[in-house]
C-alpha cells in the first residue's frame, strides 16, 4: 500500500493536473488508485448544498480519471479540510475560525489505503507552505516519510525553485519519486520557448547526475488533457510496490 505526495515548486504549477493524469495512467494499467487533497482553500462554500463544498481539485481529478465523484469524495474523506479564503491553509483556517488537525488528514489517508493500492496525496502550494502556525507541509510529509512527486515547469525561475525544492526534500531524508515537467505554461505569455527548452535540458541532466533513481515525466502537450493519456513506465509502477 503506497502513498505518494504530489507537490510543486510553487502555487499554480500544475499539481492538480499532474495528480489526475498520473491516477488515470495507473488506472489504465490496472492499479486501484485514489487521489486525496491535503487541504483545499478557495472553495465556494454553500451550506445548503454539500456537493458544492467538495474540493475543486478533487473534482478535477475525477474528471481527468473519467470517474464520477466517489463515496469517499462525498463524505469528504479525500479532503477533510476545505476553506473559502484562497490563501495559505494556516490563514484560511484562522479566518474560518477553525483549527486544522493534521491527524484527521492522516486518518483519512489510512482509511483510503484500506481500499486502494495507491493514494496520490496532493499538497497545497509548495513544500514550505504552512498548514498550521506550527507545521509546514514539508514537516508533515517528513513525519510520514512519503516519497515526493515534484511538479515543475519552464517558466522563468523554475530551475532555481526546482533545485531548492529538491534540496529541501533531500535534507529531510525523503525520496524524490519523480519530477514532472508541466508543458501547460509553455504556451502562455509568461513562458519563453528558449527558457523552457533550456529548463528541460538542464533539469534532466541535473537529475541524471544527482537523482539517478528519480523518474522524469512530462505532462502531454494538449489543449484538452481530458482526452489524452499520460504514459508511465512499468518501473514507475514497480517502485510503488
In the predicted structure, residue 99 carries a pLDDT above the cut 80: yes
pLDDT greater than 60 at residue 67: yes
- What is the pLDDT averaged over residues 34-57? 82
- pLDDT over 70, % of the chain: 89
Q: What is the pLDDT of residue 44?
A: 79
Residue 208 bears catalytic tag = no
pLDDT at 94: 97
Q: How far apart are alpha carbons 221 and 231 in whole angstroms?
A: 13
Number of domains in the chain: 1
**Picking from 42-46, 70-74, 88-92, which range would have the lowest pLDDT averaged per residue?**
42-46
Q: What is the pLDDT of residue 228?
A: 62
pLDDT for the residue numbered 155: 87
pLDDT for res 213: 93
Instruction: Out of 37, 170, 208, 239, pick the active-site residue.
Output: 37
Supply the CATH number for residue 71's domain: 3.40.50.300
Q: Is the pLDDT of residue 31 over 60?
A: yes
Mean pLDDT of the 98-114 span: 97
Confidence of residue 159 (pLDDT cuts 50, 70, 90): very high
Work out the mean pLDDT of the chain and round it to a whole number: 90
Mean pLDDT of 35-45: 92
Residue pair 141/148 in contact by the 8 Å Cβ criterion: yes
| Domain span at 108 | 2-238
Q: Is the CB of residue 141 less than 8 Å from the CB of residue 36?
A: no
Distance, in Å, from the CA atom of 241 to the CA atom of 236, rounded to the nearest integer, reads 10
Amino acid at each position: 500500500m503506497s502513498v505518494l505526495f504530489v507537490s510543486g515548486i510553487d502555487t499554480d504549477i500544475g499539481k492538480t493536473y499532474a495528480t489526475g493524469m498520473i491516477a488515470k495512467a495507473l488506472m489504465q494499467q490496472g492499479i486501484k488508485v485514489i487521489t486525496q487533497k491535503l487541504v483545499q482553500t478557495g472553495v465556494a462554500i454553500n451550506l445548503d448544498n454539500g456537493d458544492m463544498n467538495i474540493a475543486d481539485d478533487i473534482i478535477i481529478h475525477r474528471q481527468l480519471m473519467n470517474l464520477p465523484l466517489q463515496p469517499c469524495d462525498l463524505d469528504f474523506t479525500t479532503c477533510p479540510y476545505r476553506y473559502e479564503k484562497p490563501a495559505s491553509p494556516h490563514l484560511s483556517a484562522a479566518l474560518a475560525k477553525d483549527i486544522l488537525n493534521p491527524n484527521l488528514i492522516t486518518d483519512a489517508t489510512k482509511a483510503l489505503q484500506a481500499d486502494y493500492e495507491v493514494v496520490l496525496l496532493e499538497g497545497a502550494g509548495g513544500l514550505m507552505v504552512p498548514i498550521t502556525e506550527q507545521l509546514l507541509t514539508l514537516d508533515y510529509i517528513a513525519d510520514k516519510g512519503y516519497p515526493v512527486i515534484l511538479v515543475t515547469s519552464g517558466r522563468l525561475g523554475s530551475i532555481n525553485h526546482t533545485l531548492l525544492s529538491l534540496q529541501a526534500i533531500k535534507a529531510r531524508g525523503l525520496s524524490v519519486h519523480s519530477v514532472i515537467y508541466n508543458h501547460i505554461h509553455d504556451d502562455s505569455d509568461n513562458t519563453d520557448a528558449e527558457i523552457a527548452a533550456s529548463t528541460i535540458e538542464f533539469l534532466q541532466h541535473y537529475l541524471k547526475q544527482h537523482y539517478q533513481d528519480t523518474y522524469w515525466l512530462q505532462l502531454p502537450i494538449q489543449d484538452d488533457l481530458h482526452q489524452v493519456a499520460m504514459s508511465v513506465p512499468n518501473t514507475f509502477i514497480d517502485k510503488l510496490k
